[in-house]
Amino acid sequence: METHWWDSPFERRSIQHAMKVRDEDGHVLGRVAGIGETVVFMRKRFSRELWAVPLSHVLRVTGEGVFVSGKALEALEPVGDRLRTEVVTAIHPLTEPAHDAS
């Protein structure tokens, strides 16, 4: 039986502002600057330039940060006009909370 990472009780349930963004090897790429509807906006260390990481590239979210697919900077894309077209938040819930059917 395959278990998805979002079903695990040991994984975080949301991406939050200022979390570290890491590649699949665990190297820090930067920190979350905001979360859009389809991408995570991040800033590299010591830079004001924003980069976009599509939410489809997120592998898992733990207490150590947001892990994205690819090595080094493969998952990063230029922001372009996404900052103007996306609704940006500070917290992005990855799964809906369980609720009773009563």
Q: Considering the domain boundaries, does residue 55 fall inside one?
A: yes
Neighbours of 58 (CB within 10 A): 20
39 domain-assigned: yes
50 neighbors 33 (Cβ within 8 angstroms): yes
Number of domains in the chain: 1
Under 8 Å between Cβ of 92 and 17:
no
| Residue at 66: amino acid letter | V
Query: What is the distance between the alpha carbons of residues 93 and 2, in angstroms, rounded to a whole number?
Result: 22
**Per-residue pLDDT tens over the stretch 44-62:** 988 889 999 999 899 988 8
Q: Is residue 2 part of a domain?
A: no
Whether 21 contacts 32, CB under 8 Å: yes
State pTM to two decimals: 0.78
Let me know if residue 88 belongs to a domain: yes
Range of the domain at 43: 12-70+77-93
Which CATH number characterizes residue 53's domain? 2.30.30.240
pLDDT tens digits for range 77-91: 999 898 888 888 887
